[in-house]
Amino acid sequence: MQFTALPSVGVSCRFLQKLGNCTIIMSVLPPVRKDRIIGQLPKCFNRGAALNTDDEFHNKVKTACQQQRTGTVGFKISKVIVVGDLAVGKTCLINRFCKDVFDKNYKATIGVDFEMERFEVLGVPFSLQLWDTAGQERFKCIASTYYRGAQAVIIVFDLTDVGSLEHTRQWLEDAMKENDPTSVLLFLVGTKKDLSSPAQYTLIEQDAIKLADQMKAEYWALSALSGENVREFFFRVASLTFEANVLAELEKSGSRRIGEVVRKYIKDHPKMKVFVLTDLEKLSITSVGCGLL
Ligand SMILES: Nc1nc2c(ncn2[C@@H]2O[C@H](COP(=O)(O)OP(=O)(O)OP(=O)(O)O)[C@@H](O)[C@H]2O)c(=O)[nH]1
Ligand SMILES: [Mg+2]
């Protein structure tokens, strides 16, 4: 077996692997940055408007990650879309977290932009695909074509602009047209905290918490300019989407395991035909019959 290093492309390092006449190109990612490692479930921002108030990751998720169960906790990616009115600060928020920069000049996003952020959660590689969509009406049509398949939706408003909070209902409705509401995690995020006075902040926060409760979203307030709560927020998004992702996989692999037991039995008894009716929803075998072939 022979390996040849190729020039690196983006963050990945590529190798040519020779297997007989066959050449395989393998991509090897560098290790996850030390400041993207999550070992504990990060706290919510406000216990009155949180998706969950647990102190730790779900036990089933911790156990699966400890045992590194193949197929259940392999490399994972979740799609996250960021929506909200124009100029509320979506791009600045993503840029503060992913690149640690802040631009005070407004440059409208045209259609969509995309960032990939890599984490390690409970020892398992995990990536967030962050889709930064345009808030301007004329680009909405293009942006909405990227909504489908989101595991989390971040709805952004400007803490100094009540109108942008009111419009979040419409953004949610549009995002949900393309997604399954039962499996998407929602976050309602107020930006530009540095610009609002304590009195102004308290007022808008009351409305935002009420709305978050109605939407079943988790509420956060932050500032891309100062960086306040930005890292905490994205760690929370990464952790909750990871947890939901692993729980969904565990549920699926539970159903697969029953199928595997049945297949094995048939193989061990080639002259016997085994009929098995399973209730995959409840993961229970409801009836079994057999006969000679
Ligand atoms: N003071 C302050 N200004 C901010 C903050 N976040 C964003 N801004 C400013 O708000 C303006 C709009 O920010 P963007 O991030 O481009 O807004 P957007 O939501 O991506 O806008 P579209 O791409 O048009 O949808 C810019 O001038 C930013 O500098 C913040 O936390 N504090
Ligand atoms: Mg933008």
The residue whose CA is least distant from atom 30 of ligand 1 is 192
ipTM above 0.90 for this complex = yes
What does each of the 293 residues of the chain score in pLDDT, given as a tens digit? 444 444 333 334 444 455 455 444 455 677 899 999 999 999 999 999 999 999 999 999 999 998 876 455 556 899 999 999 999 999 999 999 999 999 999 999 999 999 999 999 999 999 999 999 999 999 988 989 999 999 999 999 999 999 999 999 999 999 999 999 899 999 999 999 999 999 999 999 999 999 999 999 999 999 999 999 999 999 999 999 999 999 998 888 775 543 344 444 444 555 554 444 443 434 444 344 444 43
Element spanning 158, H or E: strand 152-158
- Measured from CB, residues less than 6 Å from any atom of ligand 1 are 86-92, 103-106, 108-109, 134-136, 191-192, 194-195, 223-225
**Pairing assessment for the beta strands 76-84 and 152-158 based on DSSP bridges:** parallel
Q: How far apart are CA 94 and CA 146, in angstroms?
A: 17
Distance (angstroms) between ligand 1 centre and the Cα of 105 equals 8
Per-residue tokens: 48: 């009155």
User: DSSP alpha helices (H): ranges in 53-119?
Assistant: 59-66, 90-99
Distance 124 CA to ligand 1 centre (A): 33
- Give me ligand 2 centre to Cα 108, in Å: 5
pTM reported for the whole predicted model: 0.81
8 A C-beta contact, residue 283 and residue 258 = yes
Give the closest residue (by CA) to ligand 1 atom 3.
192
